[in-house]
Amino acid sequence: MSRLNKYLNKESPRSTSITKEEAVELMHTKCKKAAYAYKKGICRLYRGLNKSFPYMISDPSKSFRSSAGSHNYIYLLMDYIFKAYKDIPKRTRSIIGTTNRYSTEQYGDLYIMLPYNEAKIAYVDKNDFWNAFVFKYDKSHIDEINDDLYNLSIMDNIKLNDKDPKKLVKDLLKLEKKLRELEGEDKEEFTVRKRNLLYVSKYIQKVIEGSDENMVEMLERIYDPVGVIKITYPGKAIKAVGDYAEIWTDSKVLLLDKRLGDNLI
Protein backbone atom coordinates (compact mmCIF):
# COMPACT_ATOMS: atom_id res chain seq x y z
CA MET A 1 0.00 0.00 0.00
CA SER A 2 1.39 3.43 -0.98
CA ARG A 3 1.99 6.18 1.58
CA LEU A 4 -0.97 8.07 0.04
CA ASN A 5 -3.32 5.09 0.45
CA LYS A 6 -2.16 4.65 4.03
CA TYR A 7 -3.01 8.28 4.69
CA LEU A 8 -6.44 7.97 3.08
CA ASN A 9 -7.31 4.98 5.25
CA LYS A 10 -6.31 6.24 8.70
CA GLU A 11 -7.31 8.93 11.15
CA SER A 12 -5.49 12.17 10.36
CA PRO A 13 -5.18 15.78 11.53
CA ARG A 14 -7.18 18.51 9.79
CA SER A 15 -4.44 19.33 7.24
CA THR A 16 -1.51 17.15 6.22
CA SER A 17 1.27 17.86 3.76
CA ILE A 18 1.63 15.52 0.77
CA THR A 19 4.05 15.31 -2.15
CA LYS A 20 3.55 16.69 -5.63
CA GLU A 21 3.21 13.16 -6.98
CA GLU A 22 0.50 12.32 -4.46
CA ALA A 23 -1.36 15.54 -5.32
CA VAL A 24 -1.29 14.64 -9.04
CA GLU A 25 -2.57 11.14 -8.24
CA LEU A 26 -5.49 12.59 -6.27
CA MET A 27 -6.36 15.04 -9.06
CA HIS A 28 -6.77 12.11 -11.45
CA THR A 29 -8.73 9.93 -9.03
CA LYS A 30 -10.46 11.15 -5.88
CA CYS A 31 -10.64 14.82 -6.94
CA LYS A 32 -11.03 14.47 -10.70
CA LYS A 33 -14.49 16.09 -10.88
CA ALA A 34 -13.37 19.27 -9.11
CA ALA A 35 -10.06 19.30 -11.02
CA TYR A 36 -11.88 19.09 -14.36
CA ALA A 37 -14.29 21.88 -13.36
CA TYR A 38 -11.36 24.07 -12.29
CA LYS A 39 -9.41 23.45 -15.50
CA LYS A 40 -12.41 24.24 -17.71
CA GLY A 41 -13.44 27.29 -15.67
CA ILE A 42 -16.77 25.72 -14.71
CA CYS A 43 -16.18 26.11 -10.98
CA ARG A 44 -13.08 27.43 -9.22
CA LEU A 45 -12.85 27.37 -5.44
CA TYR A 46 -10.22 29.15 -3.34
CA ARG A 47 -9.07 29.50 0.24
CA GLY A 48 -6.49 31.76 1.88
CA LEU A 49 -4.10 30.01 4.27
CA ASN A 50 -1.02 30.87 6.27
CA LYS A 51 0.77 27.63 5.38
CA SER A 52 4.19 26.74 4.06
CA PHE A 53 3.24 23.46 2.35
CA PRO A 54 2.41 23.59 -1.37
CA TYR A 55 0.22 20.46 -1.40
CA MET A 56 -2.09 19.35 1.40
CA ILE A 57 -5.10 17.20 2.21
CA SER A 58 -7.59 18.77 4.61
CA ASP A 59 -10.15 16.74 6.52
CA PRO A 60 -12.32 19.37 8.26
CA SER A 61 -14.56 16.82 9.94
CA LYS A 62 -11.67 15.86 12.23
CA SER A 63 -11.74 19.07 14.26
CA PHE A 64 -14.14 21.70 15.58
CA ARG A 65 -14.09 24.99 13.69
CA SER A 66 -14.70 28.11 15.78
CA SER A 67 -16.25 31.17 14.18
CA ALA A 68 -13.65 33.80 13.28
CA GLY A 69 -14.21 37.11 15.05
CA SER A 70 -17.51 36.10 16.62
CA HIS A 71 -19.15 33.42 18.78
CA ASN A 72 -20.33 29.93 17.90
CA TYR A 73 -23.90 30.22 19.20
CA ILE A 74 -25.74 30.38 15.89
CA TYR A 75 -23.46 27.86 14.18
CA LEU A 76 -24.02 25.35 17.00
CA LEU A 77 -27.77 25.75 16.74
CA MET A 78 -27.69 25.38 12.97
CA ASP A 79 -25.44 22.33 13.01
CA TYR A 80 -27.00 20.37 15.87
CA ILE A 81 -30.41 21.79 16.86
CA PHE A 82 -32.28 23.33 13.90
CA LYS A 83 -34.11 20.55 12.01
CA ALA A 84 -33.93 22.27 8.62
CA TYR A 85 -30.12 22.05 8.67
CA LYS A 86 -29.83 18.29 9.12
CA ASP A 87 -28.78 17.66 5.47
CA ILE A 88 -26.48 20.69 5.22
CA PRO A 89 -22.73 20.29 5.89
CA LYS A 90 -21.94 21.44 9.43
CA ARG A 91 -20.04 24.73 9.43
CA THR A 92 -18.33 23.80 12.69
CA ARG A 93 -16.91 20.75 10.89
CA SER A 94 -16.26 22.29 7.47
CA ILE A 95 -13.59 24.08 5.50
CA ILE A 96 -14.69 27.47 4.14
CA GLY A 97 -13.84 28.94 0.74
CA THR A 98 -15.07 31.26 -2.00
CA THR A 99 -15.43 31.38 -5.77
CA ASN A 100 -13.33 34.56 -6.02
CA ARG A 101 -9.54 34.46 -5.71
CA TYR A 102 -9.19 38.19 -4.99
CA SER A 103 -11.49 38.10 -1.97
CA THR A 104 -9.49 35.17 -0.61
CA GLU A 105 -5.96 36.53 -0.84
CA GLN A 106 -6.47 38.78 2.20
CA TYR A 107 -6.57 35.67 4.41
CA GLY A 108 -3.10 34.40 3.43
CA ASP A 109 -1.47 32.52 0.59
CA LEU A 110 -3.92 31.56 -2.14
CA TYR A 111 -4.83 27.89 -2.40
CA ILE A 112 -6.97 26.04 -4.91
CA MET A 113 -9.64 23.87 -3.26
CA LEU A 114 -10.49 20.55 -4.91
CA PRO A 115 -13.15 18.69 -2.88
CA TYR A 116 -13.29 14.90 -3.16
CA ASN A 117 -15.67 13.48 -5.76
CA GLU A 118 -18.33 12.46 -3.21
CA ALA A 119 -18.34 15.83 -1.41
CA LYS A 120 -21.48 17.74 -0.61
CA ILE A 121 -20.85 21.46 -0.99
CA ALA A 122 -23.07 24.09 0.61
CA TYR A 123 -23.01 27.71 -0.53
CA VAL A 124 -24.70 31.07 -0.28
CA ASP A 125 -24.77 33.10 -3.48
CA LYS A 126 -23.86 36.33 -1.67
CA ASN A 127 -20.37 37.50 -0.71
CA ASP A 128 -20.70 36.38 2.89
CA PHE A 129 -22.69 33.81 4.83
CA TRP A 130 -24.35 36.37 7.11
CA ASN A 131 -25.21 38.71 4.23
CA ALA A 132 -27.39 36.00 2.73
CA PHE A 133 -30.06 36.21 5.47
CA VAL A 134 -32.58 39.04 5.53
CA PHE A 135 -33.88 40.03 8.92
CA LYS A 136 -37.40 41.30 8.37
CA TYR A 137 -37.31 43.63 11.40
CA ASP A 138 -34.23 45.52 10.28
CA LYS A 139 -32.05 45.92 7.18
CA SER A 140 -28.75 45.43 9.01
CA HIS A 141 -27.01 42.07 9.09
CA ILE A 142 -28.47 39.61 11.52
CA ASP A 143 -25.08 38.40 12.65
CA GLU A 144 -25.53 41.19 15.20
CA ILE A 145 -27.84 38.81 17.06
CA ASN A 146 -24.83 36.59 17.71
CA ASP A 147 -23.04 39.46 19.41
CA ASP A 148 -26.21 40.58 21.19
CA LEU A 149 -26.57 37.16 22.77
CA TYR A 150 -23.04 37.35 24.10
CA ASN A 151 -23.49 40.88 25.47
CA LEU A 152 -26.77 39.93 27.10
CA SER A 153 -25.22 36.92 28.78
CA ILE A 154 -22.37 39.02 30.18
CA MET A 155 -24.73 41.70 31.49
CA ASP A 156 -27.05 39.21 33.11
CA ASN A 157 -24.38 36.80 34.39
CA ILE A 158 -25.61 33.85 32.34
CA LYS A 159 -22.69 32.24 30.56
CA LEU A 160 -23.69 30.83 27.17
CA ASN A 161 -21.95 27.59 26.30
CA ASP A 162 -20.38 27.89 22.84
CA LYS A 163 -19.15 24.29 22.56
CA ASP A 164 -22.06 22.07 23.65
CA PRO A 165 -25.31 22.66 21.68
CA LYS A 166 -27.63 21.08 24.27
CA LYS A 167 -26.15 23.16 27.07
CA LEU A 168 -26.40 26.23 24.87
CA VAL A 169 -30.15 25.66 24.41
CA LYS A 170 -30.62 25.48 28.20
CA ASP A 171 -28.59 28.66 28.66
CA LEU A 172 -30.61 30.51 26.01
CA LEU A 173 -33.89 29.56 27.66
CA LYS A 174 -32.56 30.85 31.00
CA LEU A 175 -31.59 34.10 29.31
CA GLU A 176 -35.01 34.40 27.68
CA LYS A 177 -36.73 33.92 31.03
CA LYS A 178 -34.72 36.85 32.42
CA LEU A 179 -35.64 39.00 29.42
CA ARG A 180 -39.35 38.24 29.75
CA GLU A 181 -39.23 39.08 33.45
CA LEU A 182 -37.56 42.34 32.55
CA GLU A 183 -40.37 43.22 30.12
CA GLY A 184 -42.90 43.17 32.95
CA GLU A 185 -41.01 45.53 35.24
CA ASP A 186 -41.68 49.24 35.64
CA LYS A 187 -39.40 50.93 33.10
CA GLU A 188 -39.39 54.13 35.15
CA GLU A 189 -37.47 52.30 37.87
CA PHE A 190 -34.94 50.66 35.55
CA THR A 191 -31.32 50.67 36.60
CA VAL A 192 -28.58 51.48 34.09
CA ARG A 193 -27.86 47.78 33.77
CA LYS A 194 -31.47 46.99 32.88
CA ARG A 195 -31.58 49.79 30.32
CA ASN A 196 -28.44 48.39 28.74
CA LEU A 197 -29.97 44.94 28.62
CA LEU A 198 -32.99 46.21 26.72
CA TYR A 199 -30.85 48.29 24.36
CA VAL A 200 -28.50 45.44 23.49
CA SER A 201 -31.38 43.02 22.97
CA LYS A 202 -33.28 45.29 20.54
CA TYR A 203 -33.58 42.63 17.82
CA ILE A 204 -34.42 39.82 20.21
CA GLN A 205 -37.00 41.96 22.00
CA LYS A 206 -38.82 42.64 18.73
CA VAL A 207 -39.32 39.00 17.97
CA ILE A 208 -40.18 37.61 21.41
CA GLU A 209 -42.62 40.36 22.49
CA GLY A 210 -46.08 38.88 22.44
CA SER A 211 -44.82 35.66 20.84
CA ASP A 212 -45.50 32.09 21.91
CA GLU A 213 -42.12 31.03 20.52
CA ASN A 214 -39.21 30.52 22.83
CA MET A 215 -35.88 32.08 21.90
CA VAL A 216 -34.52 28.94 20.22
CA GLU A 217 -37.66 28.54 18.10
CA MET A 218 -37.45 32.21 17.15
CA LEU A 219 -33.83 31.87 16.05
CA GLU A 220 -34.68 28.75 14.05
CA ARG A 221 -37.38 30.67 12.21
CA ILE A 222 -35.31 33.71 11.27
CA TYR A 223 -32.33 31.58 10.21
CA ASP A 224 -34.47 29.43 7.92
CA PRO A 225 -32.06 28.07 5.25
CA VAL A 226 -34.73 27.56 2.55
CA GLY A 227 -33.85 29.70 -0.45
CA VAL A 228 -30.68 30.93 1.30
CA ILE A 229 -28.35 27.94 1.49
CA LYS A 230 -27.95 25.83 -1.63
CA ILE A 231 -26.32 22.44 -2.14
CA THR A 232 -24.09 21.45 -5.03
CA TYR A 233 -21.44 18.85 -5.86
CA PRO A 234 -17.93 18.79 -7.39
CA GLY A 235 -17.93 19.57 -11.10
CA LYS A 236 -21.07 21.71 -10.97
CA ALA A 237 -21.15 25.46 -11.61
CA ILE A 238 -21.92 27.85 -8.74
CA LYS A 239 -23.73 31.06 -9.62
CA ALA A 240 -23.25 34.07 -7.38
CA VAL A 241 -25.61 37.03 -7.02
CA GLY A 242 -22.84 39.30 -5.72
CA ASP A 243 -19.17 39.31 -6.64
CA TYR A 244 -18.70 35.76 -5.42
CA ALA A 245 -20.24 32.93 -3.41
CA GLU A 246 -19.10 31.58 -0.05
CA ILE A 247 -18.86 27.79 0.08
CA TRP A 248 -18.20 25.17 2.73
CA THR A 249 -17.88 21.40 2.81
CA ASP A 250 -17.24 18.81 5.51
CA SER A 251 -15.59 16.52 2.95
CA LYS A 252 -11.88 15.95 2.47
CA VAL A 253 -10.32 18.56 0.20
CA LEU A 254 -7.10 18.67 -1.80
CA LEU A 255 -5.39 22.05 -1.32
CA LEU A 256 -2.87 23.29 -3.89
CA ASP A 257 -0.78 26.43 -3.69
CA LYS A 258 -2.15 28.32 -6.69
CA ARG A 259 1.31 29.34 -7.88
CA LEU A 260 2.06 25.65 -8.44
CA GLY A 261 -1.40 24.14 -8.77
CA ASP A 262 -2.32 25.93 -12.01
CA ASN A 263 0.51 24.11 -13.75
CA LEU A 264 -0.60 20.73 -12.46
CA ILE A 265 -4.30 20.78 -13.25
Domain ranges of the chain: 3-65+90-127+230-261, 134-222
DSSP label of 54: S
Helix 165-183 and helix 215-222: axis angle, to 10°?
110
- The strand ranges marked E within the chain are 15-17, 46-49, 55-58, 95-98, 109-115, 121-124, 230-232, 246-249, 253-257
Q: Over its length of 265 residues, how does the chain's per-residue pLDDT go in tens digits?
A: 444 443 333 334 578 999 999 999 999 999 999 999 999 999 999 999 887 799 999 999 887 776 666 688 989 999 999 999 999 999 999 999 999 888 787 778 899 999 999 999 999 987 778 778 765 545 455 567 777 788 777 766 788 898 899 999 999 888 888 777 766 666 555 555 555 555 555 656 655 566 677 888 888 888 899 989 999 999 999 988 777 899 999 999 999 999 999 999 9
CB 171 within 8 A of CB 153: yes
- For residue 8, the model assigns a pLDDT of 37
CA–CA gap between residue 230 and residue 100 (Å, rounded) = 18
Q: How far apart are CA 186 and CA 184, in angstroms?
A: 7
Please give the DSSP secondary-structure letter assigned to residue 88: S
